[in-house]
Amino acid sequence: MLCCAAGFASADEKNILVTSGSDRATPIAVVPFGYQGGTLPDDMAQIIGDDLRNSGYYAPIPRQNMISLPSQPSEVIFRDWKALGAQYLMVGSIVPAGGRLQVQYTLFNVATEQQVSTGSVSGGVDQLRDMAHFIADQSFEKLTGIKGAFSTRMLYVTAERFGGNNVRYTLQRSDYDGARAVTLLQSREPILSPRYAPDGKRIAYVSFEQKRPRIFIQYVDTGRREQLTNFEGLNGAPAFSPDGNRLAFVLSKDGNPEIYVMDLGSRGLTRVTNSPAIDTEPFWGKDGSTIYFTSDRGGKPQIYKTSVGSGNAERVTFVGNYNANPKLSADEKTLVMIHRQDGFTNFKVASQDLERGNVKILTDSSLDESPTVAPNGTMVIYATRSQGRGVLMLVSLNGRVRLPLPTAQGEVREPSWSPYLN
């Protein structure tokens, strides 16, 4: 346990494509934290700096460029940091206390030479990463007004081939940055589309363990699981409603794939879409009644939205010849999706400003799939291919940061971001 102190444009207006950002991230110096007790298994300052960098808002100053290494506020010489161009500076110290570690940290505005925030957190040696993510969360919110999402978790699926048809599929949970992965489920049959419930305690996923796709719900802490669907044909793409009481998913029991919603208490089923086209990949709006989804009802896959019970669907995407797998930012102003430009064959992660219609390419990879957005809307993790292997990549929503995430061996796919867990 940690202890802490501290309206749409018309279709022909939707034709703007942005391929890169322009402004720069804010320079910040996160100085190595002072510690007199030997070597610790995790470098807290490095983790904090990486977190702030991953948001796309801040650019940590390399340690080799640091002129001094203060660990206490009284040791800070501001001219050193002004000379390096740092706008913010964090110093900290780690002190053993009764079998635990007490961490003090202070964040400064270098230009004004004033404290922005100060705080403390304590925990065991095995909680160094938790404490670092907590400090990054607190600092990011103080600087930006946006709640930090660095203490969140991620789900993903790995597939390891041992020859022939011998494949082991594993559902993993890790820190958002890929560290500390643990196994939640292993199977010889495919596992698809893991999704967190809003309470962070349950996950839904598709398993082929019965040789056909079926949706399961599993409790993260206990591993207890229950089978939710057993319909003929496709059972796929589960998505929890914002209150966690309903689950949207795709069934083909009546012919072609359509979106349905199940009340998890009564198990009552409501059909949401009714089209001769393929409707798939539902994602809930935060009002609990709007569902965004992918459909080829216009001839090519595009993203639509509908209100549960209305029967009407409104097209949302107009730029490009392929848009699929919709996700929304926390403020619902930005749609994140898999996008293909007209005249190209590569699939990339892109964002669309839902007010202006502008589309921005976020990735420089290809064959991208399965984007998932941080609960504060600042970062996206997606699956892609690198050197012939399926890997996960992180990109900031402003496009300034793109980097691979460390994950287990094998093909890695199907990432899904948790909600806030504290």
Domain total of the chain: 2
Statement to judge: residues 189 and 290 lie in one domain: yes
Picking from 86, 113, 144, the residue at the C-terminal end of a domain is 144
Does residue 5 lie in a domain region?
no
CATH of the domain at 122: 3.40.50.10070
Statement to judge: residues 268 and 381 lie in one domain: yes
Does residue 2 lie in a domain region?
no
Picking from 120, 144, 168, the residue at the C-terminal end of a domain is 144
Statement to judge: residues 272 and 181 lie in one domain: yes
| Residue range(s) defining the domain that contains residue 234 | 153-417
Q: Where would I find the beta strands (DSSP E) of 245-354? A: 246-251, 258-263, 269-271, 279-284, 290-295, 302-307, 313-315, 322-328, 334-340, 348-353
Does residue 37 lie in a domain region?
yes
Statement to judge: residues 247 and 118 lie in one domain: no
Statement to judge: residues 174 and 106 lie in one domain: no
Q: Tell me which DSSP letter residue 107 carries.
A: E
Q: How far is CA 165 from CA 161, 256, 361, in A?
A: 8, 29, 37
Tens-of-pLDDT digits for all 422 residues of the chain? Answer: 665 554 323 333 333 433 444 468 999 999 999 998 889 999 999 999 999 999 999 999 999 999 999 999 999 999 999 999 999 999 999 999 888 999 999 999 999 999 999 999 999 999 999 999 999 999 999 999 999 999 999 999 999 988 778 899 999 999 999 999 999 999 999 999 999 999 999 999 999 999 999 999 999 999 999 999 999 999 999 999 999 999 999 999 988 999 999 999 999 999 999 999 999 999 999 999 999 999 999 999 999 999 998 878 999 999 999 999 999 998 999 999 999 988 888 999 999 999 999 999 999 888 899 999 999 999 999 999 888 889 999 999 998 999 999 876 789 999 999 999 97
Does residue 422 lie in a domain region?
no
Statement to judge: residues 229 and 182 lie in one domain: yes
Statement to judge: residues 161 and 281 lie in one domain: yes
Statement to judge: residues 203 and 340 lie in one domain: yes
Rounded to 5°, angle at Cα 351 from 357 and 349? 140
Q: How far is CA 394 from CA 44, 333, 381, in A?
A: 20, 20, 4
Q: How far is CA 389 from CA 102, 347, 384, in A?
A: 41, 16, 8
Tell me which H or E stretch contains 83.
helix 78-83
CA–CA gap between residue 372 and residue 203 (Å, rounded): 15
Q: For residue 13, give both structure tokens.
A: 């207006």
- Phi-psi domain of 367 (left: phi exceeds 0; alpha: psi -120 through 50; beta: other): left
Picking from 144, 176, 210, the residue at the C-terminal end of a domain is 144
Does residue 268 lie in a domain region?
yes
